[in-house]
Amino acid sequence: MKITALTTYLVAPRWCFLRIDTDEGLIGWGEPVVEGRAQTVAAAVAELSDHLVGANPMSIERHWQTLTKGGFYRGGPILSSAVAGIDQALWDITGKALGIPVWQLLGGAVRERIRMYGWIGGDRPDDVAAAALERKSQGYTAIKMNAAAELEPIDTPRATREIVERVAAVRAAVGEDFDIAVDFHGRLSMAMARRVLPLLEPYLPMFAEEPLVPELGDRLGEITGATSIPIATGERLYSRWDFAAALRAGIAVAQPDPSHAGGISEVRRIAALAETYGASLAPHCPLGPIALAAALQVGFATPNLLIQESSLGIHYNSGMDLLDYLLDPAVFDLRGGYVARPDGPGLGLTIDERAVARAAESGHRWRNPIWQRRDGSLAEW
């Protein structure tokens, strides 16, 4: 079997899908994208295709090594995301060729179902408590929320208390048998992290995500040592080498994104590395159905999985949502807060190719917002 073509599709709301064709008719799907840089990642996939057309798609590790290390310049979100989508598609083809799911190729399942969490916003809140209750009514037993809008390096007491009040309102609404994760998107300075996190401890968040920007990763240990809240990070880390320092700093939850961090192959290795530090895996995934399927395949074969993110209903999904490109959306059905193990071959998805083609005719140019502080300087989004 040989690869004959790689085709990318920019589809709403902000995703990039990849189709890899073979001379035996098998097709693999991947999701190579950096949010806001979809066109750039698609161009990187086209460049990498020179190494792949005519090659055996089942030589997954050989291709991963060549694509990540064969060039003189390595790493970074664009290359890692391009490789990630290719890697997902190659695992999909291999599973289909053998008639088994990817989790079986990874050594077999260690669990029957995976707990999921939904997202409720919070940086521009109207009623976060009501949003959390809606997720609870949908069957989720956990949510993630932003608790802060743009912040000053050392913000006012009022701004600090607003963060705490948002989390407190959600906790009061959902009760104690429900988990709340708080995502800071790197918006906290060191000073604000020291101030805010201890104030959130009474509400027992499942984790606090990315309190600091990745550039301050060498100071993560000061944060993990200053709060009882488990610290999570990883959506802007792209390899096991990137994660090594964060794990040494004592993070409790590693969050590689299967569409950014080298795909199934590298997320699997990051999970194993995290296990050696006693840390859990919770793959970052505010993206589309292919990325989620890849994350779940890894999760079913990973002993230290904590929980899995889903983008269903996230506010980014304007126009199209997680299930709209699938012929059988039941694969992601939520029961009691969990998704059941898929038994279909490869990634276990059946992509609606006509829907993908129609959406690609319009494409998208999604860009993240640019935020400013009160004095007009750039604020972290």
Question: Would you name the residues annotated as active-site residues?
Answer: 185, 284
Structure tokens at 91: 């695992």
Task: Determine the residue type at 192.
Answer: M
Q: Where do the DSSP E strands lie in 35-134? A: 113-119
**Cβ proximity of 170 and 145 under 8 Å:** yes
**Cβ proximity of 234 and 256 under 8 Å:** yes
Half-sphere exposure at residue 145, Cβ-oriented, CA atoms within 13 angstroms = 31
**What SS3 class is residue 253?**
strand
Separation of alpha carbons 79 and 91, rounded Å:
18
Q: Return the H-helix or E-strand segment holding 335.
A: strand 334-335
* Nearest C-alpha neighbor of 232 from the set 85, 117, 367, 87: 117
- Residue partners of 290: CB distance under 8 A and separation at least 6: 17, 29, 30, 31, 85, 88, 347, 349, 351
| Exposure b/e, 195-206, CB count within 10 A at least 16 = b | bbbeebeebebb
Q: Where do the DSSP E strands lie in 31-133? A: 113-119
**Cβ proximity of 48 and 83 under 8 Å:** yes
Integer CA distances (angstroms), 365 to 11, 13, 14, 163, 357, in order: 10, 9, 7, 32, 17
* Nearest C-alpha neighbor of 184 from the set 158, 223, 156: 223
Separation of alpha carbons 253 and 256, rounded Å:
10
**Cβ proximity of 303 and 296 under 8 Å:** no
